[in-house]
Structure 1
Amino acid sequence: MNAITVPGLSKPITTLIQGSDYFRPSIYEKVCNVLDRYFAIGGNTIDTAHVYCGGESELAIGQWMKDRNNREDIVILTKGAHHDKNGPRVNPEEISKDLFESLERLGTDYIDLYALHRDDPNVPVSVLIDALNEHIAAGRIKAIGGSNWTVQRLQEANEYAASNGLVGFTFSSPNLSLAKAKEPFWAGCVSADAADCEWHEKYQLPILSWSSQARGFFTGRFTPEDHSNEDLVRVFYSDDNWERLRRAEQLAKEKGVSTIQIALAYVLNQPFPACALIGAQNEVELISCYEGSNIVLTREEISWLEHVESSVR
């Protein structure tokens, strides 16, 4: 499987990252089936978070790594400091609390990729970078990033780190997909737009994209008349996105692949390092993602797929 490098890690991370937002010890057999299949085709990176299933996602992954005795072969991406019912929790105390709980659940003494799950612009980046660097120095974290951070805040954080001899963010995890979001899928979420992608190209900062296939928009199950999925309608239904879908269908036919594979290839063929978080739960979905990850798109094809505004006015 294709892979990229992230500064701070000695291991490469595969461009397909297995998602786990439904993992629980109560469905441990399914967890094992999903992860065993994923690693059998060459994947090595699992995405989770302190808040997923109330912590049960991390518990299930920790049990699987213990049973397989494979921690050193695995790259763990987990996230902390997500807001709660009382509001933002992006501060050193909550970061430490979530991190230590994640380490215990996962049964490990370090996290490969640690991301702040949300941002709080009211907290100076210096406070957060200082706190995260303490955990890096202690060996609890290898590399740090922001999940749903704007590029402006990422740059501010990295400029502070560089000027103070500290480790900055070496990856970001926003939404990036061929279907462009009209509004955040959840409060506080960030979707990478054209200007964001230009920034990532300039700095070559990797994107680890969630909802990289637009939550099924490119499966062919949806039409402009079908409003059964309210979230999909709210976020992705637009004239421009229907035109992008049409173009993806056309390119898929030309290449002899599926439309959703073109949507995945769009994310993985950006002019900067990129990975896609996937939610494959069976062999068919996994093989589809694997085949899609090997499709090569030219820069001209990428541009043709995404720049459709003038064609639908």
Structure 2
Amino acid sequence: MKHIHIQGLDKPVSQLIMGSDFFRLNNGEEVSEILSHYLAIGGNTIDTAHIYCGGESEQALGIWLDQNRNRESINIFTKGAHHDANGPRVNAEAIRSDLFTSLERLRTDYIELYALHRDDPSVPVGAIVEALNEHVEAGRIRAFGGSNWTHERLQEANDYAAQHGLIGFSFSSPNLSLAKANEPFWAGCVSADADTLAWHERTQLPLLSWSAQARGFFSGRFTPDNRENADLVRVFYSDANWSRLRRAEELAQQKGVSTIQIALAYVLNQSFPTGALIGPRSEAEMLSCNEGAQLQLTAQELAWLDLTEAAV
């Protein structure tokens, strides 16, 4: 499997990042089986979050790491400072509280990739950068990034860090997929648009995409007439996305692969470092993701898939 480098880490990050939003304390056998398939294809980075499954996701991952004694070979990617019923909580106190809880659940004293799960634009970036630097200096996190931060806020934060001799954001984790979102899937979520991609190309800041395969939009299960999945209809149903789907189907046929593998390859063949969060629940799905990650797409093919080129 291909890997990317993220500033602050001493080991590479596999382009396919295993999602754990189905990890719970009562399905340890499934967790172990899926992660064994993930390791078999060369994966080494597991995504979780303070809020996933009420904390069980981090706990289950911590148990697995303990049982397998492989902490040093795995990159943990977790997130904190998500809003609650009272609203945004992107501040030093919330970051500290969530981080310490995550460390305890994960049974570790450090986290490779720590992301703020949401942003609060009303909070000056300087205070946020300074709070995160405190935890880097203490050895609790190796690198930090923003999940669902706009590229404008990331640039502002990194400008502040550069001006004050601090460490800046080393990665971003918005949604990036061949299907373009009509609106946020969840409140406060950010999807990469053309300006975001251009910024990443200029800065070469790594992007770790969630919903990289557009929640199954390219799986073949959905058509314009099938409107059973209200969230998918709301977020991804559009004339432009159906055109992207048809082009992905055509390119998949030419290359002898599946359409959803083309959609994954779109994310992993950008002109800057990218990773994709995946959520396979079987060995066959894991192998399909791995095959998609091996596909090479040209810049012209990417542009054609995204409707910015008339012909490939």
The equivalent residue for 1:58 is 58
Secondary structure, counterpart of 1:272 in structure 2: coil
The equivalent residue for 1:67 is 67
Task: For residues 140-159 of structure 1, give each alpha carbon's deviation from its aligned partner in whole angstroms, at most 9, with x where no partner exists.
Answer: 00000000000000000000
The equivalent residue for 1:165 is 165
Task: For residues 250-287 of structure 1, give each alpha carbon's deviation from its aligned partner in whole angstroms, at most 9, with x where no partner exists.
Answer: 00000000000000000000000000000011011000
In 2: Cα distance, 1:212 partner to 1:197 partner: 14
Is 1:259–2:263 an aligned residue pair?
Answer: no
- 1:310 Cα deviation (Å)? 8.2
Are the equivalent residues in 2 in contact too, given 1:240–1:309 (CA < 8 A)? no
Question: How many residues get paired?
Answer: 311
In 2: Cα distance, 1:65 partner to 1:168 partner: 29
In 2: Cα distance, 1:158 partner to 1:272 partner: 18
In 1: Cα distance, 2:264 partner to 2:162 partner: 34
Are the equivalent residues in 1 in contact too, given 2:265–2:296 (CA < 8 A)? yes
Could you list the structure 1 runs, at least 4 aligned residues long, displaced by more than 6 angstroms after superposition.
none
The equivalent residue for 2:297 is 297
Are the equivalent residues in 2 in contact too, given 1:240–1:308 (CA < 8 A)? no
- 1:22 Cα deviation (Å)? 1.3
In 1: Cα distance, 2:241 partner to 2:144 partner: 33
Are the equivalent residues in 1 in contact too, given 2:82–2:89 (CA < 8 A)? yes
The equivalent residue for 2:123 is 123
Are the equivalent residues in 2 in contact too, given 1:81–1:90 (CA < 8 A)? yes
The equivalent residue for 1:141 is 141
Alignment of 1:186-197 (within 5 A): 186-197=186-197
Is 1:181–2:181 an aligned residue pair?
Answer: yes
Task: For residues 38-68 of structure 1, give each alpha carbon's deviation from its aligned partner in whole angstroms, at most 9, with x where no partner exists.
Answer: 0111100000000000110000000000000
- 1:309 Cα deviation (Å)? 9.6
Is 1:201–2:201 an aligned residue pair?
Answer: yes
Could you tell me which runs of 5 or more consecutive residues in structure 2 were left unpaired when the two chains were aligned.
Answer: none
Are the equivalent residues in 1 in contact too, given 2:304–2:310 (CA < 8 A)? no
In 2: Cα distance, 1:59 partner to 1:126 partner: 32
The equivalent residue for 1:282 is 282
Is 1:150–2:150 an aligned residue pair?
Answer: yes
TM-score in terms of structure 1 length = 0.98
Secondary structure, counterpart of 2:118 in structure 1: coil
Is 1:214–2:211 an aligned residue pair?
Answer: no
Could you tell me which runs of 5 or more consecutive residues in structure 1 were left unpaired when the two chains were aligned.
Answer: none
Alignment of 1:6-85 (within 5 A): 6-85=6-85
Are the equivalent residues in 1 in contact too, given 2:300–2:309 (CA < 8 A)? no
TM-score in terms of structure 2 length = 0.99
AA matched with 2:15: T
AA matched with 1:277: L
- Give the share of equivalent positions with the same residue, in percent: 67
